[in-house]
Chain A
Amino acid sequence: MSILTEVELLRRVPLFANIDTSRLKLLAFTSERLTFNAGAVLFREGDRGESAYLILGGKVDVSVHSPNGEVVVAQIAANNIVGEMSLLCEMPRTATVTAVEPLDTLRIKKDQFLQLLRDLPQITLEVMRELAIRLHHVNQDLSAARAKLRAAGLEQ
């Protein structure tokens, strides 16, 4: 699979959806193509996040610690990205991600991504737009949740 296929897959990620092809090519070129064996851990909950993984083939389990041990909260399939928030800010991983089957990924490193943002403002704008949309969704969800809570009489 060459870089052009990777670009096509990057385009399907909402965060990168509106970035033009040559920039995505650059992102792909400066990223690392990584494969994992089944059962290999991409990153663990609590680790310092330094990169995001675009899943090109295979599936991963997303799991979190709980009093009852490791609980799988989601399964993510190809053409999705995991750990993308760590590209923008330094925070510990909120979950552990494990390959369920042999996995093909594109590893996007934070340093390279930030460098791109610094140098190419149009990408920054696209990312901001995407984040704003997400924030908007979260706000909507939050007010919906609050409304539900209020209806249940749990919040004044």
Chain B
Amino acid sequence: MATHQSLYNYIWKHSRRDQMVILAIALAAQPFYFLTLTLPKLIINGPIQGGGFETADATQNFLRLVLDFPEWLGGQWALLEGFALERVPYLFALSFAFLALVGFNGFLKFLINTMKGRLGERLLRRLRYDLIDRVLRFPPSHLRKSKQSEIASMVKDEVEPLGGFSGDAFVWPVFLAGQALTALTFILVQSFWLGLVSAIVVLGQAMVIPRLRRPILQLGKMRQLQARELAGRVGEIVDGGADIRVHGTSNWERADIVRRLGRIFDIRFELYQRKYFVKSLNNFMAQLTPFIFYAAGGYFVITGQLDVGQLVAVIVAYKDLPGPIKELIDWDLQRQDVEIKYNQVMDQFQPDGMVPPEQHLDAGRTERLKAPIELTNVTAIDDAGFTLIDDIDLSLPLDQSIAAIGPSGSGKEALGQLFARQVTLKSGAMKTNEVDYFTLPEATVSRCIGYAGPEGYFFPLDLKENLLYGLKLAPKEASGSEARRREAVRAGNPAFDAEADWLDYEALGTRDPKIITDRIVDVLTMVELEGDVYHFGLQSRLNPKLYGAASERIVEARLELHKRLAAPDRANLVERFDPGVYNRNASIAENILFGASTDPLLQPQNLPTLPHFQRVVAEEGLEKHLVAMGESIAETMLELFRDFPPDHPFFDEFSFIPSSELAAYTQIMKRAKTTGTTYPDRAKLSVLPLRYVEARHRLGLITDDIRERLLATRRTFAQTLPPELKSRISFYEEGKYNLAASIQDNILLGRVSYGVARAHEQVNVLIREVLDQLDVRDLIIEAGLAFNAGVGGKRLTTAQRQKLGLARALIKDPQVLVVNGALANLDDRQKTLIVERVLKHRAGKTTLWVLTKDDLADRFDRVLVFDHGKLSADRQQKLHEAAQ
């Protein structure tokens, strides 16, 4: 493990200039500070008590500054002679001078603190950047071993105190030591022996206290480690939450957490005990000196060896000593604490085999591969040292499709990983153009090699960003502010601008967004992902920025769809939203709201809590009907589900009443039949029917009377809508696009009927036809590409992630495409389709495909057969197409 520079070196190296400036200002501030302390005395003794104004026309010289030094330093030293003023003007002059000085001192203090703060923040920014930069350069093996929450806790929390400390790293000790030395010197001048005694006690304090504090620091270190491990465990509990529940080990996890919390408690408690012991000892030692002064000094005075004046002066001077000493000791403690934290953090960020920084820099300049990739005597090992590939020679030209086959673990996967530089070479060389492949700049490898592994990681960005992720190697032009850039450079951060356009248009071959979308659609189609993205698009809301042209075309599509749905054999597929008709395929809540909203509070299921809704229901006299329907539903639910265990899947799928509420509703229904329901009972009952969909649940609740009442409620709800809700709800209207509803809902403007066989299927086909006819597909795909992949791509299925991973590599149009088990989770039909399409698309370029099933190998120019890490066969083959 490499060593790192010490904390002090680090601070000094990166903040030297600022430290000096702060020190200079701090020193320059001292005389003014001293003046603020002396002025009150001058004001009281002079103009107020009349000192120097004994005669009526006496004057004093204002701004006459005289410094009192001991005789041996030259005695009085007049800085300014000033000018003469009478008593009252003199009072005001002095008072205003005092005010000015206080203000000026405050300003200096503000200046120093700001500078210190800025210095600390800059250093913290630099350190955090350094740490993350190191993570980005970790060797793959170390990355696999690192726990992300521990790393995060180190970068975020553990280095935090460093920022505050670095501002005080040099200035503060100099300052405190200066104060302490002055006081000590003064005492020494007054009385040598008493001075010596205080010096010895102070020295003793300075030696004993830090020694006692050493175990405290050790404990602090342990506490830090434990806290970091706790963060790691919390991360694991979150990541492994599903598995913990599946295995029923939540109590086992609880036990582990309890143990860790116990350990942290023990450490912290011992820490407190020791800390307060040291504190009281320190206080005691600070009071020891006055004791000596009173006892020994008093004795000297009584015996006449010391005069009273001197003793008082010593005692007064001593008052200024413990303060700085104590703070100095505290500062030293803080220094050690921060130093330990720094060392501990830095140790974690120094793995062997880090990628050298040069390999990452200069991302703007990429080269193309010019010569075949040659593997000579390559032996590769995994993290545990097992041989993955054993002594392989291979030459991969830049225009061949190659399949790697063999049993799993035979070395074919490792061959793929070699291209991603995920495994370590034990011996041999992998070269292209006489250059070691492992030393090629990151950007060049990214540009020339497209790699899709079995478990691609995706960022919580939209699909388009994820798809184009590999095309963001360098900013095209800096657009950010110059000041921000300069500040970044000052903190040792690179001047990369995240707001600039990073997209590599050169690799895409175009800047035209339309062509880029076409390219994306091509690639998505190639990997069988286009349908999914199209589906996401239909389910999403239209970006309000596109409102206008886009929404008009969707309304057009709606009209066309409704025209087609009018055909007799399709008439019952969709029940359209008609303001004057109750929709049997929508819930009661949806029927009343009759609109969409992006506001979570205005979703149909949240209506009961909406005051406007409550008002309208009361006005329309709907309440008793809702209660009656609620009773009917509750009765049926209790009858149907009473015998089921609480965790039965039927509750989630079918019941209006969750299993936890079953008992409560049983009581309510009992009361309904005997004593009558209470107000809260009725509230609970009236909520039930809101989810009721007549066509789906078929309890026959929507009678003609109820239907008319619900329609009246719908009208009143819309007509009396308070102004603050108006902008938040968009009602369904025939000729208007509804921005709050999904694109699909806008096209349908209705609900697909329950109870019509294969209605969804048929409607989907119709929608697709209409959209194709009106040429709105791109728009839907764009909307689908705005779908957020979720943390780690978790909003996508495994198959979708694998397809997206392949698409992400394909869109770069790399010279060499390496597909390493990236389609493992797809069915055979899709696998075959994708392999064939991709190979056709990449004719003339190199594609290395590590196949999970050998039977697709006949589609490739060349087949590498692996067995136990060895290359057992390497055969060229004529393709069927070529033969024909």
Contacts and interface: CB of A to CB of B under 8 A. Distances in A.
A22 B699 CA distance: 14
Interface stretch (B44-52, B223-231, B753-761): B753-761
Contacts of A28: 698
Given A2-B700, A33-B698, A25 B636 contact: yes
Given A35-B572, A37-B569, A40-B757, A3 B700 contact: yes
A70 interface: no
A71 interface: no
Interface in A53-112: none
B639 interface: yes
Contacts of A29: 636, 640, 654, 697-698
B650 interface: yes
B757 A36 contact: yes
A33 B758 CA distance: 12
Contacts of A26: 640-641
Contact of B755 (A3, A4, A35, A42): A35
A34 B654 contact: no
Contacts of B881: none
Given A25-B640, A35-B572, A3 B654 contact: no
A34 B755 contact: yes
A29 B755 CA distance: 13
Given A25-B639, A120-B643, A30 B754 contact: no
Interface residues of B, number: 24
Identify whether the interface residues of B are mostly helix, strand, loop, or mixed: loop
Given A3-B698, A30-B650, A37-B569, A119 B755 contact: no
B644 interface: yes
A22 B639 contact: yes
Which 6 A-B residue pairs are closest in the complex by CB-CB distance? A2-B700, A33-B755, A26-B640, A36-B757, A34-B757, A3-B698
A115 interface: yes
Nearest to A39: B569
Nearest to A116: B650
Contacts of A22: 639-640
Given A22-B639, A115-B649, A32 B755 contact: yes
Contacts of B572: 35
A6 interface: yes
Contacts of B645: 119
B563 interface: no
Interface in A9-54: 22, 25-26, 28-30, 32-37, 40, 42
B365 interface: no
A102 B102 CA distance: 96
Nearest to A36: B757
Contacts of B700: 2-4
B247 interface: no
Contacts of B643: 119-120
B649 A30 contact: no
B50 to A, nearest CB: 102
A30 B697 CA distance: 9
B319 interface: no
B741 to A, nearest CB: 26
A3 B692 CA distance: 14
Contacts of B644: 119
B514 interface: no
8 contacts: A2-B698, A3-B699, A22-B639, A26-B640, A29-B636, A29-B698, A34-B757, A115-B650
B766 to A, nearest CB: 15
Contacts of A25: 636, 639-640
A37 B757 CA distance: 8
Interface string B387-405: 0000000000000000000
Contacts of A120: 643
B651 to A, nearest CB: 12
B700 to A, nearest CB: 3
Nearest to A27: B640
Contacts of A33: 695, 698, 754-755
A86 to B, nearest CB: 17
Contacts of B756: 34-35
Nearest to A37: B569
A60 to B, nearest CB: 12
Contacts of A32: 754-755
Contacts of B641: 26
Given A25-B639, A40-B757, 20 more contacts: A1-B698, A2-B699, A2-B700, A3-B700, A22-B639, A26-B640, A28-B698, A29-B636, A29-B697, A29-B698, A30-B650, A30-B653, A30-B654, A33-B755, A34-B756, A35-B572, A35-B757, A36-B757, A40-B758, A115-B650
A40 B648 CA distance: 35
Contacts of B640: 22, 25-26, 29
Nearest to B698: A3
Contacts of B650: 30, 115
B573 to A, nearest CB: 10
A6 B697 CA distance: 12
Nearest to B642: A22
